[in-house]
Amino acid sequence: MPVEHTLRKAAEEVDRGDLASVLRARQRLVGLVTTYPDRLDLRARLAGVYRLLGDPVQAGRWSYLGEDRYDAEVAAFERAYRTPKARLAALNWATGANGIPSETARVRLAALQSEVSAQLRREIAVADDRDSSWTVNVLVLLGLVLALLCFVVGAVTLVLWAYHWLT
């Protein structure tokens, strides 16, 4: 089904106003956004449907890069997707920031991508700080050797006991 025809059907369903029709319109628009993830107009329409359904998290998600968005919905989206990495993944943007026709969306996506980079740098720095020292590694190794030794002694004892019991 061509995009314009699908959009027309979705608009008709939204105009009907009953829950089943609005849910069908949502499904149509989700399919379109999945197929054309870099079309901001489809994202705006999907945000409008979620707004109609009373879902501020999803409305904020799909209007995040758009010109017209509500601060309360964006805040709800950011609360639901706490990290920049999670937000970027939830946006499901297929191309880079250069592929965006809108300057506003380009700036917002670039800012989110730089937040993700900063988050990853912090995670790497924390991971480097958590490296254990040689003494801890040696103690763990000694513990493993001791556990293996106990296992071997126990297994030999069990085999000898079984041998004596059977003979």
Each residue's pLDDT tens digit, 99-125: 677 888 888 998 999 999 999 888 887
Which two tokens mark 119?
Answer: 């988050």
Q: Go through 8-44 and write b for each residue having 16 or more CB atoms within 10 A of its CB, e for each that does not.
A: eebeebbeeeeeeebebbbebbbebbeeeebebebbb
Which pLDDT does position 128 carry in this prediction?
59
In this prediction the pTM is: 0.71
Cα–Cα distance list, 100 to 57, 110, 163 (Å)? 23, 10, 77
Domain assignments of the chain as residue spans, ordered by start: 3-129, 138-167
Residue 40 has pLDDT above 80, yes or no: yes
DSSP string, 19-84: HHHHHHHHHHHHHHHHHSTT-HHHHHHHHHHHHHHT-HHHHHHHHTTSSS--HHHHHHHHHHS-SH
Confidence of residue 133 (pLDDT cuts 50, 70, 90): confident
Q: What are phi and psi of 18, to 5 degrees?
A: -80, 155
Q: What is the mean pLDDT of the chain?
A: 89
Q: Which residue has the higher pLDDT, 145 or 134?
A: 145
| HSE-CB of 163 using CA atoms within 13 angstroms | 6
Q: What is the pLDDT of residue 131?
A: 62
CATH code assigned to 3-129: 1.25.40
Closest by Cα among 84, 32, 76, 31 to 51: 76
CA distance 68 to 79: 20
